[in-house]
Chains A and B, each alone.
Chain A
Amino acid sequence: MLRFIGQRLWQMIPILFGVSLGTFVFNQALPGDPARLLAGPDATLEDVQAMRARLGLDQPWPVRYVIFVRGALAGDFGRSYRTREPVGPIISHYVQPTLVLSLASTVLAVVLGMGVGVLQAVRRNSLGDYVSTVGSVLGVSTPSFFLGLLLIYLFAVDLHWFPTGGTTAGLRSLVLPSVTLGVGAAAAIARFTRSSLLEVLGEDFVRTARAKGVREPWVLARHSLRNALIPVLTLVGLQFGFVLSGAIIVETVFTYPGLGWLLIQSISFRDYPVLTAEILLFALEFLLINLVVDLLYAALDPRVSYA
């Protein structure tokens, strides 16, 4: 087990190198000149060239990549083109809000999604199943910026319950964005929990247990849920990743200063140093989540082993 974890962590190093190189190529493929964008529409060609020199863009990208790698290995990711600040502090400033938002919405999604999913599977074909299925489908099919705007109008403008955005109102600031972000994931998890559990409930060992006279709640808890959780876990892992990229839109709608918001800013300003560091961070985060998911997978399904 430990060997497996060590191996996977070891494998991350070439992946991260691959991602950083990919990001540099992506930056290169992205049309647009950071110097021109920063110098502004007022700028003459001379100003733009001065800006290019100031940003170090007068060097070819392979040279810049080598400089980047050398710096990154020493923990220095350069300075933002846009604000001239060092990248490290910028990223760490934006990480926390996004982490809080992602966790809040994932917890919401898992609790709500699994709860509804299990109820649906147990009370299969009841009116409740029917209504909540339609409800979860609506949840999964509403564009998040549409939902976000509706929530803002209803709960912030009309009812004044929550602020329209930002993070200045503490916990209350977190409610609308995490609901917006979590609803889609919750619906997906509910659907998946339901179908996965139904499948397991149809399996032989469950029938055997029932035939042996094991009581229904016990069948559910001991025999079915554990097996049904396996594909659901994969989905939760995927959904957490989805939540991270969904944060791009939700953070924009709610002006929530997190990584998603920063990403849009750094793309529109072609702020390569920030963009590169951020993509590397996203990549690392995702690799770690997947590792955890795989480990849980092995822990829950004895047929899968990484020994």
Chain B
Amino acid sequence: MAEPLPLEVRDVVKSFGSRRALEGVTLDVRAGEILGLLGPNGAGKTTVVRSVVGRAQPESGSLRVFGQAPIHPTAIDSRGWVPQEIALYSLLTPRENLWTFGRYQGLVAAALEAAIDRSLEWAGLADRAKDRTSNLSGGMKRRLNMAAGTIHRPRLLLLDEPTVGVDPQSRERIYAMIGELKAQGVSLLYTTHYMEEAERLCDRIAIIDHGQIIASGTREELVHSTLGNRETITIDADAPVGPALREKLTRLGATVDGTAVRTLAEDPPRMIRELLEAFHAEKTPIRDLTLKRGSLEEVFLSLTGRELRE
């Protein structure tokens, strides 16, 4: 019999009062892969994660962690969760925090001590093990937050926006830690609203908006299925776009937002020529013109009509 998937989410519906947070979410995390759950704030990413760790109860649908319900002891032992908040005891030291969460995960004695040492090393906090957690930098706290969620060596890890508010240098360290987990064969569900993160870290990406998975696949699959061979042309005008120019650009299929003009083109050279002719005819100067191959940003824009911003 085939090994059950690390995570199976099927048609999960969840409401908070009259607000529907999840509208039938379905996704899988396969063994050893990083699945990125990409979406704007409020899209439902955290609700999916909280449902997987048993902290939110869906009204319908099913969730399975290695074939078990989220609150089954086997599921609890085999999954780890790194919440978006720094959920640590700020008065305790990193070692004491790890001892606490290690005990809560059922580790004892030598196994617990070994896990604490290993986690401190992994998070690069061995030399700060006895400092008060409140005295650590933001990046260090984030890494300790990750260590507390992985001290019991879970086979499935749920990372909920682990790089929010982190400086670029610390972000790189967190990416390196995630790389190590992947190398160890850990399966990850990684929620983020950072496009670059999803493109860089994730094997597959599920895009969520308004509580629905609107597309999923590898980056290439998403770009191809959504944008086809089209490429993005962006023009930044050096003066406000007048009504006549706006009408011409709209006729060409472009969208105008202030001085920014954007369009998807299957034949970029021809489209660029037509756009430039329109600008020239209306005597509107151009500051910048870019041509981009399909990106997740374009995919999201194309699917939702909105940009994915913080």
User: Do A and B form a real pair?
Assistant: no
